[in-house]
Amino acid sequence: MSAFSRLRLDGVSRRFGGQAALTELDLTIEAGEFIALLGPSGCGKSTALNCLAGLLPLTAGSIWQDERRIDTLPPERRGFGMVFQSYALFPHLTVRANIAFGLRMRRLPKEETRRRTAEALRLVRLEEHVDKLPGQLSGGQQQRVAIARAVVFEPSLVLMDEPLSNLDAKLRLEMRTEIRRLHQSLGLTTVYVTHDQEEALSLADRLVVLREGRVQQVGSPRELHTRPANWHVADFMGYRNLWRGRVTRVDDAVVTAESAGQRLLGEAVGDLRTGAEAVLAVRPEDIRVDGAGETRNALSATVEVVEYQGRELAAEARTDTGLLLHLRTERRIAPGDQVKLAVDPRRLLVYPDGPAHRPEDQGATR
């Protein structure tokens, strides 16, 4: 129940039948941190959260709250607040009673329960809805009740399981800011599960990227954004251009690789040798369209598809040699246009590929 200074997950694993859902998750969470567990569906992130909450027993490993082992405790004795994807508000209780539930279970004095419930209601700005039932609230309001209910008893850890995935785009942005604001004002240690990289990057102090039950990378939003540990993470972090190729030359960190007949310069991430199979990764916004006069990584291509996206256009273009590029530009281009493209070699990341370079073998950075 009490606050901790450090929560440690040690080799936490969970199997369902013969299927490994989560494999040896090691993670240390410092008090006050906002951690996002990020990954595509089925990557084990919700499993990890449920293991933390105590809703799912571990198959192996342990969880330590400072020097106390807690993975054997039932959920009600861990004292962690949890926000569920479906909100899981008690439909028969009013907004007030829903929020007060955790306080009532702790048998706090009536006066204190009332005071803290009112405080939480103010925090999520639901004062005028106190006596309504959850069914009478909009999705966003229900979400705020769920958050208030999970934080009102000042849990040592707040767990959030894709809390925004049931909201529409506009509300999602609002609630994202709200969650960030709450975290900053209350300083509650939070573990947040999402499949939305943008959400994770904007909210978290530290991100844990999972894939097939294994940690791929742990790092700050900046580290993940600029230097994904392997091409799977790059794929997930918005590197839409992933080209298979072969390394033709290595100069320390700078490598030359060939993909679909194009010779490109990039930065090596991981161990690469001449002749090795590689994956080249670039974000669409890192491909420049006014590339005329550029000598390094210059490509000429024909625009095939253009999508209007407000200030920018998202486009697909193809070189004569068949390399398909996703790009974003403010320039007005149209299908059929011939364009000169260029990629800054520092923005083109080259990853080892092939069976010997399964992502989990590269070792997650910590």
Partner 1 sequence: MSGAGPDRPLAHWRHRLAERGVDRQLWLLVPALVFVVALFVYPFCYGLTLSFQPTNGGPFSDYARFFSDAYERGTIWITLRIALPAALLNVLAAVPIAYRMRGRFRGKRLVTTVLVVPITLGTVLTAQGLLNFLGPTGWFNRILLATHLVDEPVRLTHNYWGVFFSLVITGFPFAFLLVLSYLSGIDPTLERAAATLGADWRRRFTQVTLPLLMPGLATTFCLTFVLAFSVFPSAVLVGNPAGETRVISLAAYQAAYERYDYPYASAIAMIMGFVELVIIAVVLAARSRFYTGSTGGKG
Measured from the CB of residue 241, what is the shortest distance to partner 1 in angstroms?
40
Is residue 173 a contact partner of residue 198, using CB atoms and an 8 Å limit?
Answer: no
Binding flags for partner 1, 29-58, as an x/- string (CB under 8 A): ------------------------xxx---
Residue nearer to partner 1 on the CB measure, 86 or 300: 86
Exposed e or buried b for every residue in 78-104, given b needs 16+ CB within 10 A? bbbbbbbeebebeeeebbbbbbbbbbe
SS3 241: strand
Q: Hey, what amino acid is at 342?
A: A
Neighbouring C-beta atoms of residue 139, cutoff 10 Å = 13
Closest CA to 289 of 341, 238, 222, 351: 341
Per DSSP, the chain holds a count of helices (H) and strands (E) of 8, 20
Among 123, 124, 150, 208, binds partner 1 (CB under 8 A): 150
Q: Does 163 bind partner 1 (CB under 8 A)?
A: no
Among 35, 43, 82, 126, binds partner 1 (CB under 8 A): 82
Measured from the CB of residue 74, what is the shortest distance to partner 1 in angstroms?
7
Q: Does 243 bind partner 1 (CB under 8 A)?
A: no
Beta bridge partners of 263: 258
Q: Does 106 bind partner 1 (CB under 8 A)?
A: yes
Q: Does 17 bind partner 1 (CB under 8 A)?
A: no
Binding flags for partner 1, 109-148, as an x/- string (CB under 8 A): ------------------------x-x-------------
Closest CA to 282 of 238, 331, 314: 238
Measured from the CB of residue 88, what is the shortest distance to partner 1 in angstroms?
4
Phi/psi at 68 (nearest 5 deg)? -105, 130
Among 102, 219, 221, 352, binds partner 1 (CB under 8 A): 102
Residue nearer to partner 1 on the CB measure, 86 or 138: 86
> Cα–Cα distance between 225 and 221 in angstroms, integer?
6
Among 39, 44, 61, 79, binds partner 1 (CB under 8 A): 79
Measured from the CB of residue 80, what is the shortest distance to partner 1 in angstroms?
6
How far from 294 is each of 266, 300, 340, CA to CA, in Å?
A: 15, 11, 9
# residues near partner 1 by CB under 8 A: 28
SS3 47: helix
Among 4, 34, 80, 231, binds partner 1 (CB under 8 A): 80
> Cα–Cα distance between 183 and 203 in angstroms, integer?
9
Among 4, 101, 231, 351, binds partner 1 (CB under 8 A): 101
Helices 110-123 + 95-105 axis angle, to 10: 130
Sheet of strand 312-319, all strands in order from the earlier edge strand to the far edge: 287-288, 338-343, 298-309, 312-319, 324-329
Measured from the CB of residue 51, what is the shortest distance to partner 1 in angstroms?
13
Q: Does 16 bind partner 1 (CB under 8 A)?
A: no
Residue nearer to partner 1 on the CB measure, 138 or 338: 138
Which residue stretch of 77-85, 179-187, 224-232, 299-307 sits at the interface with partner 1 (rule: CB under 8 A)? 77-85
Look at strands 157-161 and 190-194 and give their pairing: parallel
Among 81, 266, 284, 359, binds partner 1 (CB under 8 A): 81
Q: Which residues bind partner 1 (CB under 8 A)?
A: 53-55, 74-76, 78-82, 84, 86, 88-92, 101-102, 105-106, 133, 135, 149-150, 153, 159
